[in-house]
């Protein structure tokens, strides 16, 4: 079936890429409950837009408005995928997934696990033996069980770490109950195992950061006021945004959170496509500690937890500052009820220092232009950690993806006086935090000036004949197949990668291109034989390039929860070794933070920035920002623009 403009209006959407509304989510749930998911034992994991084929969008083909849904039937312990035609109200596809496939957890499943652990008689008795009798102060923090060689036998399991508070507002992460793990089966609705090993004294020292514990706030910082008297420079129509020369669409999914669609840059009056779709694909947080509880800490925050569902409702003056445009995020709880994360995505402009400047000392004149960036962001809380994800668009066509990591360390306990070599002591009472990594993968479906692109690796090389010993040059190497394009960063060679369109050339007859500057290009520290490395093979390398396939969406595969990593993900798809020269390409970049914990990270961690840049590299024939105005209204005592256009007398 196809949708006309009228039927799109009937569904309350203005564009085929608009995320599902609450009403559409309710309709999908109703259709499924009236059909194959009628049993009370079904739980909903996600209901989201089934994005139309980009070829149809590119060619202006009218497309059906459809939804993808993932469900779990707790009665039989099996998972299902469905496709629902929203206009017809029919189930177009219903597939039972292979035994053992476990979709991500839902927020209300986390709450269910904690409540069940708190009421379990065996857990209550075991905690009492450790002297913990006030269950209201005990915190059960559900993690995925991962995979460590033990078959879950079809069970949908959670692994709860345990902490305790001294009082209601006390930070529980100061008081881990070490060597105490509770396993909960969501399908059975009960605790199925308790690991209660050698007891270690609960660290007594507090680690609080709330104002009532910290004391009076300092008063010597004067206000910084950010004002835009004429309003923001962007225009928003539905989910479509135009700012300066950029245009794009804002999307949101439960798995990825913020998604950017159809990113284009207007050059000489022409909107030139750059990236068709960009989003966080996956992330994994492996821990390097060998202690029994800590060694099994690794979390795939996207594929196991649906990080989009954990997005915060952002607030003005705290999370975002300036003239703000918010976008809500719609999702579904496990019972099929739609819920809205209000202000899930924040968009605003920021001043960005100088963009370019030159002082002509001969003439005594200076020209300066200030930069600004458009910031599109969301922040997710995954138990103890906060991850703030930012896409920055710059006036010169550059793009930055930035992750700001903050929140609270995942702590561990040891006997007072011990010093674990795999962590940092946070006090002298037995509290420490293990060394770990935060590894991210971003998927970018490029469409640089058209659908057919190629990728070059660019290294700095010394020529063989170098009599002055000062010569060096950049050398391009075309990456021709998927296997050739599995690459690591190399700072000794100042390596970067170019995404080029060889059918389009610039002023000097070179292919138009963007370059990926691989900052924070670390790799997974865990050995290849470790279970986490086998499951997160995307993090062994930094660059992956694949020929586009709409089913290849997530770097660690569609369902990494409790999976072995043996049959899905980038390392499997690239075994096809497809041609990637002048093809429709997807660029996957892995980067991360090697978190050697420091005392300053406690009791709450100052923000750490990690990310990468994309820059035009011959995409334009010259600096595209020459037409910027010579000044902006200063915030001091003058209203002229002489600060940016000056002549020395």
Active site residues: 301, 385
The residue whose two tokens read 């029919």 is 90
Q: What share of the chain is helix, strand, coil (3-state, %, to 5)?
A: 15, 40, 45
Can you give the C-alpha Rg of the chain in angstroms? Answer: 26
Opening angle at CA 336, ends 333 and 337, nearest 5: 70
- 206, burial (CB in 10 Å: exposed 0-12, middle 13-18, buried 19+): middle
Q: Residue 572 and residue 556: Cα distance in Å, rounded?
A: 10
Quote the DSSP letter at residue 566.
S
CB atoms within 10 A of CB 474: 13
Q: What's the token pair of residue 275?
A: 């990236």
The residue whose two tokens read 């469409």 is 447
Nearest partner of 288 among 422, 120, 100, judged by Cα: 422
- 210, burial (CB in 10 Å: exposed 0-12, middle 13-18, buried 19+): exposed
| C-beta separation of 346 from 373 below 8 A | no
| C-beta separation of 304 from 109 below 8 A | no
Sheet containing strand 423-425, strands side by side: 412-413, 431-434, 423-425
**Phi and psi dihedrals of 422, rounded to 5?**
-105, 20
Which helix (H) or strand (E) is 263 found in, with range? strand 257-267
The runs of H, that is alpha helices, within 162-230 are 211-214
Opening angle at CA 259, ends 613 and 14, nearest 5: 135
Quote the DSSP letter at residue 174.
G
Q: Residue 453 and residue 457: Cα distance in Å, rounded?
A: 14
Q: Residue 373 and residue 246: Cα distance in Å, rounded?
A: 11
How many Cα atoms sit within 13 Å of 257 on the Cβ side?
A: 33
Beta bridge partners of 81: 70, 95
| C-beta separation of 482 from 578 below 8 A | yes
Quote the DSSP letter at residue 268.
T
């Amino acid at each position: 079936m196809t949708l006309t403009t009228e039927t799109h209006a009937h569904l309350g959407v203005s564009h085929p890429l608009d995320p599902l509304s609450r009403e559409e989510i309710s309709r999908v749930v109703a259709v499924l409950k009236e059909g194959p998911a009628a049993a009370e034992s079904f739980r909903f994991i996600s209901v989201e837009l089934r994005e139309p084929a980009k070829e149809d969008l590119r060619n202006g083909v009218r497309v059906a408005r459809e939804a993808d849904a993932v469900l779990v039937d707790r009665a039989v312990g099996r998972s299902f995928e469905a496709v629902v035609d929203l206009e017809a109200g029919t189930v177009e596809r219903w597939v039972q997934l292979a035994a053992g496939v476990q979709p991500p957890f839902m927020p209300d499943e986390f709450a269910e696990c904690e409540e069940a652990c708190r009421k379990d008689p065996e857990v209550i008795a075991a905690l009492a033996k450790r002297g913990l009798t006030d269950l209201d102060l005990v915190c059960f923090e559900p993690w995925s069980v991962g995979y460590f060689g033990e078959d879950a036998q079809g069970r949908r399991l959670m692994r709860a770490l345990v902490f305790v508070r001294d009082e209601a507002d006390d930070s529980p992460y100061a008081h881990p109950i070490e060597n105490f793990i509770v396993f909960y089966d969501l399908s059975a609705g009960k605790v199925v195992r308790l690991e209660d090993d050698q007891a270690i004294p609960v660290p007594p020292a507090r680690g609080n950061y709330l104002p009532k514990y910290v004391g009076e706030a300092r008063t010597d910082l004067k206000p910084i006021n950010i004002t835009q008297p004429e309003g923001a420079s962007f225009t928003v129509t539905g989910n479509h945004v135009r700012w300066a020369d950029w245009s794009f669409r804002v999307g949101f999914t439960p798995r990825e959170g913020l998604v950017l669609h159809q990113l284009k840059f207007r050059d000489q009056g022409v909107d030139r496509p750059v990236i068709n779709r960009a989003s966080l694909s996956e992330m994994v947080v492996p821990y390097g500690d060998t202690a029994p509880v800590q060694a099994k800490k690794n979390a795939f925050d996207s594929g196991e937890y649906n990080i989009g569902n954990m997005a915060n409702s952002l607030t003005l003056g705290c999370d975002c500052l300036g003239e703000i445009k918010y976008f809500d995020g719609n999702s579904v709880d496990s019972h099929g009820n739609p819920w809205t994360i209000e202000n899930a995505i924040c968009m605003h402009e920021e001043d960005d220092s100088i963009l370019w400047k030159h002082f002509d000392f001969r003439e005594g004149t200076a020209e300066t232009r200030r930069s600004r960036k458009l910031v599109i962001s969301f922040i997710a809380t995954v138990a103890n950690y906060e991850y703030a994800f930012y896409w920055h668009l710059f006036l010169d066509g550059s793009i930055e993806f930035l992750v700001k990591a903050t929140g609270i360390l995942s702590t561990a306990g040891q006997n007072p006086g011990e010093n674990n070599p795999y962590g940092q002591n946070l006090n002298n009472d037995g509290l420490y935090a293990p060394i770990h990594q935060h590894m991210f993968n971003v998927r970018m479906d490029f469409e640089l000036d058209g659908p057919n692109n190629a990728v070059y690796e660019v290294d700095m090389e010394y020529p063989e004949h170098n009599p002055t010993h000062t010569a060096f040059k950049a050398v391009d190497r075309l990456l021709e197949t998927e296997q050739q394009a599995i690459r690591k960063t190399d700072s000794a060679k100042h390596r970067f990668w170019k995404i080029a369109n060889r059918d389009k050339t610039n002023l000097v007859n070179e292919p138009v291109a963007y370059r990926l500057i691989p900052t924070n290009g670390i790799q997974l520290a865990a050995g290849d034989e470790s279970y986490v490395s086998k499951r997160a093979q995307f993090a062994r390398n930094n660059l992956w390039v694949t020929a586009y396939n709409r089913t290849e969406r997530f770097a660690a595969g569609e369902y990494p929860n409790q999976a072995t990593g043996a049959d899905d993900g980038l390392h499997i798809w690239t075994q096809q070794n497809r041609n990637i020269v002048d093809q429709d390409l997807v660029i996957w970049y892995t980067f991360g933070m090697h978190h050697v914990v420091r005392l300053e990270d406690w009791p709450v961690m100052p923000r750490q920035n990690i990310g990468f840049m994309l820059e035009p590299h011959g995409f334009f024939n010259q600096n595209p920002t020459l037409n910027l105005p010579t000044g902006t209204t200063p915030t001091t005592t003058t209203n002229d623009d002489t600060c940016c256009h000056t002549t020395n007398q």
